[in-house]
Amino acid sequence: AQTVTQSQPEMSVQEAETVTLSCTYDTSESDYYLFWYKQPPSRQMILVIRQEAYKQQNATENRFSVNFQKAAKSFSLKISDSQLGDAAMYFCAYSSYNQGGKLIFGQGTELSVKP
Amino acid sequence: GAVVSQHPSWVICKSGTSVKIECRSLDFQATTMFWYRQFPKQSLMLMATSNEGSKATYEQGVEKDKFLINHASLTLSTLTVTSAHPEDSSFYICSAYQPSRTVNTEAFFGQGTRLTVV
């Protein structure tokens, strides 16, 4: 079975600074997808960024980028130029290639942004 | 992105009664819908996978007789919590899956339902 681990329950960053959230996963599959989701206080799940395992290039979305290390099974999220609106719970998630939409989530990291 | 509507947003029910939660994909047909449960300050735990026209697949440890899932159409799945008890109080979230031409996985989430059993 696949597992996702986020070892940082809480993180804090100063506004405009950069922060990196860690995520490791375990799987025996070779094809899969990895995601970072943001859950603000409204609790609406928002997709931040997605990475296909077969792609070597790290995904980027504006201020958000990932460091995908397939051999190490590591998938960290870097937030640059942090903004107050980035404060939220962040979840790392895994999906098998042949089980579209079915997500296995990590424990979550609560990010606070200090003005 | 596509829109998934979950209703109600919050509900309070008495212990022993049943409550139904709806999950609708508003602008696309969802082949599969998923139901998650989230306790405060915790992660989302998958409860079941719902496919249109067939029986739901429940995760280990989830009581299928307590959490009834129906996926009668490509745009609607319902979760009924039967004979609710205070320990069933939680946040329930659905997601709907839309196969994409470019990316195999594209899941869209509803707003969630906060259930309180008194």
- C-alpha angle with apex A21: A53 to A44, nearest 5 degrees? 85
Average pLDDT, chain B: 91
Each residue of A43-69: pLDDT tens digit?
A: 999 999 999 999 989 999 999 999 999
Of the candidates B43, B95, B112, which has its C-beta nearest A108's C-beta? B43
> In sequence order, which residues have a C-beta less than 8 Å from that of residue B18 and are 6 or more positions away?
B80, B81, B82, B83, B84
With a cut of 80, say whether residue B102 has pLDDT above it.
Answer: no
A16 membership: H or E segment, kind and range: none
- Cβ-based neighbour number of residue A101 at 10 Å: 21
Question: Over 90: is that where the pLDDT of A99 sits?
Answer: no
> Which residues on chain A place their C-beta less than 8 Å from a C-beta of chain B?
33, 42-45, 47, 50, 52, 91, 95, 97, 100-108, 110
Q: Report whether pLDDT(B50) > 60.
A: yes
Q: Please tell me the distance from the alpha carbon of residue A67 to that of residue A85, in angstroms, as a whole number.
A: 22
In tens, the pLDDT along A73-83 reads 999 999 999 99
